[in-house]
Structure 1
Amino acid sequence: MLIKKRKREDADINGSSMADIAFLLLIFFLVTTTINVDTGIGLVLPPPLEEDQEPPPIKERNLMNILVNAQGRILMDEEPYQLDEVKPRLIEFIKNPNNEADLAENPELAIVSIKTQRATPYRIYVDMLDEVMGAYKDLRDEASRTNYGVPYGALREESPQQQQVKDMYPKKISIAEPDES
């Protein structure tokens, strides 16, 4: 006697619910994933000059030229410096406590110019910029403590006291186009 084989029906899987689950998983991962955004270096740029407007004249003594080569060597006004010597030298240049002829006439006129080569490592460039910003921060902190008895960071944003300290030591930083060589 032959046993009849039963023909089994194929089980159907409802595909619409799979699409719903896949869509929900996609939304879940989009919502929970963090995306790191490189914010770059935050600097406030001056407004562009109008076409008929000439750049203001700058006396050589009020300009501190900082050159950084591809090997990370630093020249400040044609003299070699190490990175940790930059901040004290800038503070001396900007303040000019002894009214020396080769330093800035006064802090309001001091300009720091940074120029690099294209092959300069980005880390060295950022470290140099940190030293320059640190010099201005130290100068503003000192002025704020002297005049108001509190560090610059403790002054209320956009207060007259903060504006006065900013006016005493305005950040005038020029970042020149890098050289090819």
Structure 2
Amino acid sequence: MARKRNRESAEVNSSSMADIAFLLLVFFLVTTTIPNEKGLLIQLPPADTEITDVKLKERNVFTVRINSADRLLVENEPLEDVYRLKQMVKDHVMNPRREGDKAESPEKAVISLKNDRGTSYDRFITVLDQLQGAYYEIYAERAGGLTAQEYRNLDRTDPRQLELYNKGKEGIPMAISIAQPTK
């Protein structure tokens, strides 16, 4: 005679599965780091200010244009090598003899950057880096022969380093005007 087995069917106990899933979720939320990318550190004017035209002498303005094909036009002349731009800006701002078409003084020098809507972000950032890099090199030289990277890494909470930082920037504002893109 066949014996009847009184076994229950094999099942996986899933009563604690929700607890395990919850613990895993909490673990990954606590241990995961989310990168905090800052993007472009550009200070925008307040939204409630009126836009007014400022009249500048043409010799104080250094113009840089980027077209939709990512080609540069610097002072109405084509420029193939974007890395020459940094030295051109330094020459314009720090013109020691105040001759020719260079700025009257470092305080009055303005860099005007304008691009087309079709300009690639990569090209825009490269050009903007060169423009800002020129100013940081000027500041670093004036602060006592530092490199631009050393100047940017000065700890402004330390009074001695803050003094160096202010010495570099004194009288020379980073005047980079970014105009609305054209179509």
Same fold (TM over 0.5): yes
* Superposed displacement of residue 128, structure 1: 0.5
1:1-181 → structure 2 map (5 Å cutoff): 2-11=1-10, 13-47=12-46, 50-51=49-50, 54-81=52-79, 82-145=81-144, 152-153=151-152, 157=156, 159-180=162-183
Whether the aligned pair in 2 keeps the contact of 1:63 and 1:111 (CA below 8 Å) is yes
Over 3 Å counting, the alpha-carbon distance change for 1:38 and 1:155 in structure 2 is closer
Does the residue aligned with 2:101 lie in a helix, a strand or coil? coil
Aligned length: 174
Q: Distance in 2 between matches of 1:49 and 1:107?
A: 30
Whether the aligned pair in 2 keeps the contact of 1:145 and 1:152 (CA below 8 Å) is no
TM-score normalised per structure 2: 0.82
Q: Distance in 1 between matches of 2:20 and 2:46?
A: 52
Percent of pairs identical after alignment? 40
TM-score normalised per structure 1: 0.83
The CA RMSD measured in Å over matched residues stands at: 2.4
Q: Distance in 2 between matches of 1:176 and 1:35?
A: 33
Q: Distance in 1 between matches of 2:48 and 2:164?
A: 29
Q: Distance in 2 between matches of 1:103 and 1:77?
A: 11
Whether the aligned pair in 1 keeps the contact of 2:62 and 2:75 (CA below 8 Å) is yes
Q: Distance in 2 between matches of 1:57 and 1:42?
A: 27
Gaps of at least 5 residues in structure 2 are: none
Q: Distance in 2 between matches of 1:42 and 1:54?
A: 24
